[in-house]
Amino acid sequence: MEHLTKLIQNRTPDVSDRDIYEGLAIDVSTELGVDLVSIWLFDDAYTKIKCVFSLDRNHRVQLTGAELLKSQYPTYFKAIIEEITIMATDVHTHHSTKELSKDYFQKNGIQSLLDYIIYNELKPVGVICCETTACQRRWAEDDIYRIRLLTVAAGFELSL
């Protein structure tokens, strides 16, 4: 939590949302040892999510600005709206993520995914997406616990 701690301790009015997203992404990447961390926010109608920040340790994928539409990926959207996490060891076969296989995962070389849904006042507002590109990964409950600590520290998860 090194980056978030520094931001929070030295919080001034000029610390932007982007600074918080970056600190969160760096800390999540370090804590979980994942290749790619991206932060996505829902629109008000839950018809799309937009990537507001991405960090790729291998410098191959830039997702900031990308959007995913509910109309194209209804099963995935149902999962990220109704669940707290998605843990997919194999993103190409997992029931909640396989519809993104061709357009998103293959294109970006993604093997495994852990999505942690960000809530505010019991409503989902976004997703922290942790992905591996080098190999598949079996996620553990400890991974979820560590992301939860980081999101609370960043001030994202106000209630759940």
Mean pLDDT of the 140-156 span: 83
Mean pLDDT of the 145-152 span: 84
Q: Where are the beta strands (DSSP E) in 31-136?
A: 36-42, 48-56, 67-69, 85-88, 112-120, 123-132
Say if residues 32 and 147 touch (Cβ distance below 8 Å): yes
Query: Which residues are bridge partners to 114 per DSSP?
Result: 87, 130
In this predicted structure, the answer to whether residue 146 has a pLDDT above a threshold of 80 is yes
* Cα 111 to Cα 30: distance, rounded to the nearest angstrom: 18
Q: Cα-flanking dihedrals φ and ψ of residue 87, to 5°? A: -115, 105
CATH of domain 2-154: 3.30.450.40
Query: Which residues are bridge partners to 87 per DSSP?
Result: 114
Closest CA to 145 of 28, 9, 41: 28
Q: Cα-flanking dihedrals φ and ψ of residue 16, to 5°? A: -90, 170
In this predicted structure, the answer to whether residue 131 has a pLDDT above a threshold of 70 is yes
- Give per-residue pLDDT as tens, 11-30: 556 667 787 788 888 889 99
More confident residue, 90 or 158: 90
- Give per-residue pLDDT as tens, 52-72: 999 988 777 678 889 999 999
Q: Break the chain into its structural domains and give their ranges.
A: 2-154
Kindly report the pTM of this predicted structure: 0.86
Bridging pattern class, strands 48-56 and 67-69 = antiparallel
Q: Which pLDDT does position 106 carry in this prediction?
A: 93
Q: Is the dihedral of CA 22, 70, 149, 157 positive or negative?
A: positive
